[in-house]
Amino acid sequence: IENIVELESNIESYPNPGIKVFQYGTSGIRYNSEHLDHVLHRMGLLVALRSIHLKSAAVGLMITASHNPRDDNGIKLIDPLGEMLDSSWEVYATKLANAHNNQDVCAMLINIAYENNIDKKYIPRVYIGRDTRNSGKRLLDAVLCGVKAFNSNVEDFGIITTPMLHFFVRCYNTNGLYGQPSEHSYYTKLTNSFKTLRKMASKLHTYLIDKNIFACLDLKNYSPVIEFDGANGVGALKMKDAIIHLEETLVINMHNDDIMNTEKLNYKCGADFVKSNQCPPTGMTIKPYSKYVSVDGDADRIVYSFVDENNKFYLLDGDRIATLVAGYIKDLFIASGLDVNVGLVQTAYSNGNSTKYVTDKLITYYKILLLAIVYVLQKVPVACVPTGVKYLHHKANDYDVGIYFEANGHGTILFKDAIRELIRYQCSIEVEEAKSLALKKLICIMDMTNETVGDAYSDMLIVESVLCERGWSISDWYKTYSDLPNRLKQVTVKDRNTFETGDAERICLKPLGLQEKINSIVLKYSMGRSFVRPSGTEDVVRIYAEADTQTNADKLAVEVATAVY
Ligand code: 16G
Ligand code: ZN
């Protein structure tokens, strides 16, 4: 740090009004946007330091509050491979956000530089994106002020989805091996592989008869028509760009795409609304058996849904996507002849029947497919980790191919570098037609996946690929297994920090005695399961319950809530 006086005067531009204590948690920092200016400014300072520390690697800063109300905003920092910020720096972020006065901020920055042996010869490179919120531009100015204190190279990508920024950061730092840090490269990489796979999957070429009708003899029940719920946010904006690339493969009918009217952002629509309320999005006509796709306010989550002829609602959430994708990828590996360890990562919120489906049914399926000799090898292990994308992502790295999804619709697939290379190599030398085809399909799936983080657009392309190849309608997909009835509740407690959990949040360790109470309540319900955990984002304790019937799941949740209270 060359010029302390200059730095101090930079810091003075955004004093801390001291209204709130912030914590950099699983989703960065989020709060009412009115009180975030000094936080964003300080994160601008921090992100620049992080890049200097990482020898001028590009580090990302995303301004978004995702599915939260439109008056909120927030910030998330992105490390060089597109992953979440390293946890030791989360601690710095929390301290900096809360520092009372300007001298403290300055001292902390100097301290971070010392602790990490930061060499000032590196010029920072910072990649910035933001969602459609009104406050985004003002907060961007605060970030830029901070970032510029260190003479950074700044790339402001404007309004983009969170997963796009993760992708761009990784592209820059891997010298183009993953793609180029541009929207064009992002769309072409994901979409071209989608189109290639679709051509391989349908032996007869699909062609468009008119706007909504595709002709293809082997699509069976599959329909390429999607009713897209953009949550009135950036997901809608970007899907409009993507549509141009998707012609002749998908028909996307846009809804909830009013981004000019930010009042409407996430309001009664989008992935979080649909998942939390278990009902269709508003703002569009709901027709029986049409395929609805909802994304959230920064397009890193996706859920599918439909209603039947009696208007009964069916949700296909992250659990469903995970099981669909796991089954397909497992099939491709079996067909390719490669023996690869494919694993699934879930959280305690995952429906008990989705776990059961993967551990029991996927094996049975391969037994029939391949006879007894191979089936022992073909188990998809399921791991359970605490809520929060970073825990799932981390665990997924343990497998050759790790698939992770939170029930809320956030997830992706991770391929180990060695496996990626093995697939490409094997594909280049494979002579058997069926094996070669499976390997080519695997390459398409790899290239269609944004491995840095959950990405609604990428996930949608993957789901559509699998559904098309299976020839499934959305209700065929739903029929693969039935969810156990479940209920989510929350209670406001005096201090959520008095709650502590263990075993991936499935057991409550504190307050003492609560788990025993929960155990005895659960015992009364057939197929009962319930857990409580303190929220990481709100001052509440959440309760999850599942049982044999909806009435029982509801009763179980109420009983456990009473025990917590
Ligand atoms: C954050 C997490 C999300 C998790 C949610 C749980 C990330 C990027 N986001 O939004 O994965 O499901 O928190 O919220 O990690 P809760 O702790 O309030 O239940
Ligand atoms: Zn989100």
pLDDT tens for each residue of 230-265: 999 999 999 999 999 887 889 999 999 999 998 999
Q: Which residues surround ligand 2, an ion (CB under 5 A)?
A: 66, 296, 298, 300
Between the CA of residue 403 and those of 34, 190, 328, 451, 559, what are the distances in Å? 38, 18, 11, 10, 34
Residue 311, annotated as binding a ligand: no
Q: Considering the chain, what is the average pLDDT of its residues?
A: 92
Average pLDDT value for residue range 459-482: 96
CA 349 to ligand 1 centroid distance, Å: 12
Q: Which of 27, 29, 56 is nearest to 41 (CA)?
A: 29
Burial (CB count within 10 angstroms: exposed 0-12, middle 13-18, buried 19+), residue 94: middle
Indicate the pLDDT class of residue 380, thresholds 50, 70 and 90.
confident
Burial (CB count within 10 angstroms: exposed 0-12, middle 13-18, buried 19+), residue 364: exposed
Q: SS3 of 438, please? A: helix
Both structure tokens of 312: 């009964």
Give the residue whose CA is nearest to atom 5 of ligand 1: 388
Residue 537, annotated as binding a ligand: yes
CA 516 to ligand 2 centroid distance, Å: 35
Burial (CB count within 10 angstroms: exposed 0-12, middle 13-18, buried 19+), residue 558: middle
Residue 533, annotated as binding a ligand: yes
Ligand 1 pocket test: pick from 303, 387, 410 the residue with the most ligand atoms within 8 Å of its Cβ. 387
Both structure tokens of 362: 């996927």
d(CA 520, CA 398): 35
Strands 342-346 and 401-405 turn out to be parallel
ipTM greater than 0.90: yes
pLDDT tens digit sequence for 207-220: 444 454 555 546 78
**The pLDDT value given to residue 9:** 87
pLDDT exceeds cutoff 70 at 156: yes
Between the CA of residue 333 and those of 31, 295, 330, 365, 482, what are the distances in Å? 44, 30, 5, 14, 26
pLDDT tens digit sequence for 310-320: 999 999 999 99
Give the residue whose CA is nearest to atom 9 of ligand 1: 27
Region label for 171, one of left (φ > 0), alpha (ψ between -120 and 50) or beta (otherwise) = alpha
Q: What is the largest CA-CA distance in the chain?
A: 74
d(CA 190, CA 462): 10
Segment (H or E) for 37: helix 37-53
Scanning the structure block, which residue is given the tokens 């029982």?
Answer: 552
CA 473 to ligand 1 centroid distance, Å: 30
**The pLDDT value given to residue 2:** 59
Verify whether residue 87 is a known catalytic residue: no
d(CA 439, CA 446): 11
Segment (H or E) for 554: helix 550-564
Region label for 404, one of left (φ > 0), alpha (ψ between -120 and 50) or beta (otherwise) = beta
pLDDT tens digit sequence for 14-55: 999 999 999 998 889 999 999 999 999 999 999 999 999 999
Q: Which of 148, 105, 102, 98 is nearest to 128 (CA)?
A: 148
CA 231 to ligand 1 centroid distance, Å: 18
Residues lining ligand 1, Cβ inside 6 A: 26-27, 387-389, 406, 408, 410, 535-538, 542
Q: Which of 7, 213, 32, 209 is nearest to 102 (CA)?
A: 7
Give the residue whose CA is nearest to atom 2 of ligand 1: 388
Both structure tokens of 366: 């391969």
Indicate the pLDDT class of residue 375, thresholds 50, 70 and 90.
very low
pLDDT exceeds cutoff 90 at 423: yes
**The pLDDT value given to residue 494:** 83
DSSP 548: S
Burial (CB count within 10 angstroms: exposed 0-12, middle 13-18, buried 19+), residue 2: exposed
Both structure tokens of 97: 């956000």
Using an 8 Å Cβ cutoff, are 120 and 110 in contact?
no
Ligand 1 pocket test: pick from 23, 27, 75, 301 the residue with the most ligand atoms within 8 Å of its Cβ. 27
Query: pTM of the entire structure?
Result: 0.94
Between the CA of residue 195 and those of 77, 228, 238, 419, 540, what are the distances in Å? 32, 19, 18, 23, 45
**The pLDDT value given to residue 138:** 98
Q: Which of 27, 33, 51, 66 is catalytic?
A: 66
Is residue 511 reached through a cis peptide bond, with omega within 30 degrees of 0 on the bond before it?
yes
d(CA 141, CA 79): 22
Scanning the structure block, which residue is given the tokens 């319900």?
Answer: 525
H-assigned helices in 337-487: 352-356, 362-370, 372-375, 389-396, 417-429, 433-448, 456-470, 474-478
